[in-house]
Structure 1
Amino acid sequence: MRTRAVVVRQAVVDDAEAVSEVRRVVYPYKAMSPAATRHFITVAAPEERFLPLVAEADGEVVGWGAAGLSVWTSEPGQSHLTVFVHPGHRSQGIGSQLAERLHQHLTEVGAVRVQVFVHPDGLEFARNLGYDGTRQMHYSGVELTSLPDQPETPEGIELVAFESVDPHAAYTADTVASLDEPTDMPMDSIEYDRWVEEIWNNPAMDKALSVAAMAGDEMAAFTVVETDRDRMWSGMTGTVPGYRGRGLAKLVKSVALRRAAAAGITSAYTSNDDENGPMLAINNWLGYRRVQTELVLLRTL
């Protein structure tokens, strides 16, 4: 078999379509459109020191790698790294080339700990790079052909699409609800302007399908929907502490799935940590079934 020439280089906006296609093959249970990929490549905060890479084999994009400092946490030196390679181009050292470049970059910009998510079949590769396990993240999917009856809307609550929501209300709800998310680092340092640029203005967010439960001007609960052609991804579902115990997370997610089905979406996917029992119960009620488990690993630099 002829050896294909592999080049690792910094990603540019024009790579977005190809990267999105490779990602769709590697992660059939996630969603990231080309528009969302372009946004991801271009909008990182300067202090994140974000480095996106692609690997080309004879001019064809077959792999992706990215790393940067985690700037939404108060813990200094935390960082994230992602590497994936098209299944047809593995075992050729492409992943190792990407990882080497990214680890070198993180060391140069002052990272002290790196977090990665890996498939079980990539565990040996990650351990050989010095990573060790902390927890598991489960991914589930549901076909939007048969959903349970929508719960009743409590008195004093209005259901609205994100199209009509004040971003300040969404920011407040998101940052408060995120504090309870199981994680290896607290998400406790999210500035409004950066949140608007990276989250609110991200084309991944489908504001017509994302749903908020409003109590007057306050967002009590919400679910963020990201779409890519025939599939959707639940980016975040949360309830502000003062409104918990009223079934609002179940309500907004049920409404979002129904609206997605009406818009032509056929499959929905989400992720859960084992520790998030309430959301696991909601997803089970909605009919989600596990399709993949990824391992959350850490490495100290």
Structure 2
Amino acid sequence: MATRTSTLIEKDTTMPPDPISLQPANPEQHFVALAGQINTQETEPSTPETLADWYNKQVEEAIRFTVAVTPLGQVVGFNGIYRSYTNLERNYGIYVIVGEEFRQCGIGSWLYDHLFNQASEMNALTLRARVRDTCEQGIRFATRRGFEIKKQSIEMRFDLSAWDDRRYEPTLQVLRAQGFHFTNMAELGDTPEARRKLYSLNNNAAATDPGSDGVSPWASFEEFERDVCQSYWYHPDAQIVAIDTHTGEWAAMSAITVFEGSDHAYNLFTGTDVRYRGRKLALAVKSLALRRAREFGVAAVRTSHNSENEAMIAIDTKLGYVRTPGTYVMVKEVRKIIGCRACALNPTLYL
């Protein structure tokens, strides 16, 4: 699914210019501006409606958005804190984004300090920040506040117009001969049973991918169904799966979609059960996902990978993906010190 980011201002000042004030974000009043500011940093677009959909699903997890506004109600920046992993207590991601024309005057520092106080109140353990790897200002700002680069997300783009999918038919034929059945969630009826198998394959593959934290993305099937299957971008016929007909095991999957307002498709995740890796199943399901992307009527596909997942990067390179600027994952852990707040934060940062 695809991942959220945030922006930090470089200049270290403690007070913003008058008469800007902070107030809790109101989805109906502020999400048009927030979506616009997010879209200055994200590769995948947000609309006020899709932002509200995601926000409302996180309300039970204590998500908080705060806006910096002028007396006339103009939103000049905002911060946000949300659960980074739903099955890891007190680990959070953050947003700190400031409009370009309002930067370098302390608003970013003010928003970050306000967010840090909220994180303390929430007894946060970690803050995780995603910073564009080309944004030197954001990297400096995060580093000065104790964040360290832990990972890099490699982003890639694929030109569908020049792709000949017939090249991969021999691979599919070999795998079918070995007993693998290629299908999708729509053909399987998108039933609760099928969704549970998709959930299990997603969780296990993500937790065992090279470079992963070893943590499953979802704590329960109910969370997976809420966050994935009930999302507007979920297309059952674009959830490609490979099933071992000898055992009935779900061996591999690849999911693709088009986010609202986007001019390209996005390959959300491709994963293979550890028992089936090394058999070209990821290449097979990815090629079928690209075929489905054409039906969306787009000319390009984007995706991203942990930089340590060299095998998946190699597969996409073989398919024809090319690298584009990516993001760093920067993490701050704040230890409890006598007389100070206890906190360890996982933010996502943008300038």
| Same topology, TM > 0.5 | yes
- Retained in 1: the 8 A contact 2:239–2:255? yes
What's the Cα RMSD here?
Answer: 2.7
> 5+ unaligned residues in a row in structure 2: which ranges?
1-16, 335-351
Amino acid across the alignment from 2:310: G
User: Structure 1 residue 294: deviation in Å?
Assistant: 1.6
Deviation string for 1:80-104 (max 9, x for gaps)?
2233334444334333333222221
Matched residues, percent identical? 24
* Other-structure match for 1:38: 52
SS at match of 2:152: strand
Q: Which has the larger radius of gyration?
A: 2
Partners of 1:169 and 1:210 lie apart in 2 by 12
User: Structure 1 residue 281: deviation in Å?
Assistant: 0.6
- Change in Cα spacing, 1:274 to 1:161, as seen in structure 2 (3 Å) is same
2:38 paired with 1:23? yes
More strand by share: 1
TM-score (norm 1): 0.85
* Other-structure match for 1:212: 241
SS at match of 1:179: helix
Structure with bigger RCO (C-alpha 8 Å, 6+ apart) = 2
TM-score (norm 2): 0.74
- Change in Cα spacing, 1:179 to 1:51, as seen in structure 2 (3 Å) is same
Q: Which residue among 91, 96, 116 is the counterpart of 1:78? A: 91
2:309 paired with 1:276? yes
* Other-structure match for 1:161: 184
Q: Which residue among 103, 122, 130 is the counterpart of 1:117? A: 130
* Other-structure match for 1:238: 271
2:140 paired with 1:129? no
* Other-structure match for 1:203: 232
- Change in Cα spacing, 1:34 to 1:239, as seen in structure 2 (3 Å) is farther
Q: Which residue among 55, 62, 76 is the counterpart of 1:49? A: 62
Partners of 2:321 and 2:92 lie apart in 1 by 31
- Retained in 1: the 8 A contact 2:165–2:291? no
Amino acid across the alignment from 1:139: E
> 5+ unaligned residues in a row in structure 1: which ranges?
none
- Retained in 1: the 8 A contact 2:25–2:67? yes
Partners of 1:300 and 1:23 lie apart in 2 by 25
Partners of 2:221 and 2:317 lie apart in 1 by 33
Matches within 5 A, 1:235-274: 235-274=268-307
Deviation string for 1:245-285 (max 9, x for gaps)?
22121122222122212321223211112210111011111
